[in-house]
Chains A and B, each alone.
Chain A
């Protein structure tokens, strides 16, 4: 029993020796913050549905290392994006740039909405005239009918 206590005490002390303070994740938190901000907007090419910030793929780690050096060199965000686009194309950007080849992409949904509104408008106008035609009343008659209905409400 004595030995057991000694052993437990020993283990207890060991815990204190083994544990140490968590090492900081990056040497410069400011650089790391900018790195995350930029790389969240960039696609990892190996696992295409992950951002460069979140991916653990080898290439993503290498690219983060490159971006870290660029940030330390004092490059602006757009220069860093240009670094990526010149190598991997617009595909790495989660926000595609507006240019002739992406006009359809940017304007397409609005175009569809306008087309839908026009179709709705045309349909409603046509239905109005059809309803008016189906009742077979002249303008004067329908005014009288409305007046009568309002009287009935009182």
Chain B
């Protein structure tokens, strides 16, 4: 494990996830793993059937998410999101879930199922989760607090901090802190951004209108961010993404 760690130096390390004994070997074949994640879920038709009604009767089957099932599912999430859910740079930037607001996480999992948020991998992941399991996972991730994985250009942090705290009033860009909080921890339906992956934040803000609020029959709170994401320039997005990526 030390030799693997030695391959990575400074802030750029991805070795946090490599330290985890169970994931160390798997990290070498990360690409295949994602395919396997999808395949696993397709092999569980009963669970998929149970999940069909997740949007309606969320409290109906409480208890399913208890015990070893939860631990197994958490381990499955961490295959891609990192052993401490600190996020991971796979083929795609895979977001940090650690410390995330449970209400936001639950809403996003429903958003994948309802095609409000388009992501085939996460659709398949979420489709198999019972409401009780979703709650159990969200609670678990809420309590994790690993250090950010880092790696963003540090020279952008100062500019990003100013945008985060003050917005860009002349350009009608609201202060991120108003909703996400002064330390970017989020609140309720509003996500934590602290420690989120630099490339993930850039990707989401750049593609907001193509990834969120995609089901016109089910408008959702992602609309709040649409004008903000649209108004931010690419350099502003990179700056604010760099700032939040280092927040603990």
Is this pair of chains taken from one and the same complex? no
Task: Write the residues of chain B forming the contact surface with A, with a CB cutoff of 8 angstroms.
Answer: none
Task: Write the residues of chain A forming the contact surface with B, with a CB cutoff of 8 angstroms.
Answer: none
